[in-house]
Amino acid sequence: MFANYLIGLREGLEASLVVCILIAYLVKTDRRDALKPIWIGIAIAVGLALGFGCALEFGSQELTFEAQEALGGSLSIIAVCLVTWMVFWMRRTARHLKADLHGKLDAALQMGTGALVATAFLAVGREGLETSLFVWTSVRASSDGTEGPLIGVLLGIATAVVLGYLFYRGAVRINLAKFFTWTGAMLVVVAAGVLAYGFHDLQEADFLPGLTNKAFDISETIPPDSWYGTLLKGVFNFQPDPTVLQVVVWSLYLVPTLAFFLAPSRPDKDKAKPAAPVREEV
């Protein structure tokens, strides 16, 4: 449940920050007349994300077991690729996010209502589609037959919405660079489990071999239905009897990705002297 809460919080907070920055900028520049098109664009983006999630959930139920596993495995791999790109992108651009959005919004204000709707839709829609895909694959991977994973996601999104409102009101300030670095690292760990589960799905769909070739089996030591087995599965997508392919894929993804992600950023070559640390707050 914690892993899904983290996904909802991290992905939801990105979207909340985008909305907060857009709305706050229009209010501060006395362009409240442009708020309606922005909210329309946001509403369309949210509706698209919800529709995409529903299509994944209900559309997959009409497929055969093999087709469901093949679809789930393929989408898990795609989701991990998108999330990996997203955490690296956000780590690099978090401190410049506000300035980038302000520039796009200034250009949209000059172009008219349609451009404002499109700006809000594109800014929030990308986050929404990524969230729907990764949430669906993560809930599917960590599902234990209960509503816990879905509840975790919803609680994370609800927390993100509350934090977004507090940011807007100025009641909370946060170092975005540090926040996205640490939550990004935890999300990489979650993504590694989702990726391994995706490859297991492809094995169950007979798309990849090695389903019966187990790397180890500690089910008796860590029973899947025990409280600690459930906790490990909910947080890390841990499986007590993974296949060799799952372990290889998990290791090849997690170790280098986490090492690159946590490596110190290199200073720009065109700077004559080291810059003071920037604390971007919202």
Tens of pLDDT, residue by residue over 179-230, are: 777 878 888 888 888 899 889 999 998 889 988 899 988 888 888 777 677 7
Q: Give the chain's mean pLDDT.
A: 79
| Residue 249 pLDDT | 94
Quick: pLDDT tens for 136-185. 887 777 665 556 667 777 888 888 888 888 877 775 676 766 777 787 88
| Residue 275 pLDDT | 44
Q: What is the pTM of this model?
A: 0.72
Strand partners, 243: 214
Under DSSP, the state recorded for 133 is H
Beta-carbon contacts of 88 under 8 Å, excluding residues fewer than 6 positions away, are 184, 260, 261
| Residue 276 pLDDT | 44
| Residue 166 pLDDT | 83
State mean pLDDT over 248-275: 75
Tokens linked to 50: 């919800």
Phi, psi (deg, nearest 5) at residue 243:
-80, 165
| Residue 243 pLDDT | 92
Most confident of 63-67, 251-255, 270-274, 275-279: 251-255
What Rg, from alpha-carbon coordinates, does the chain have?
21
Phi, psi (deg, nearest 5) at residue 275:
-85, 150
Strand partners, 188: none
CA dihedral 218, 188, 127, 78 (to 10 degrees): -70
CA angle 215, 217, 219 (to 5 degrees): 150
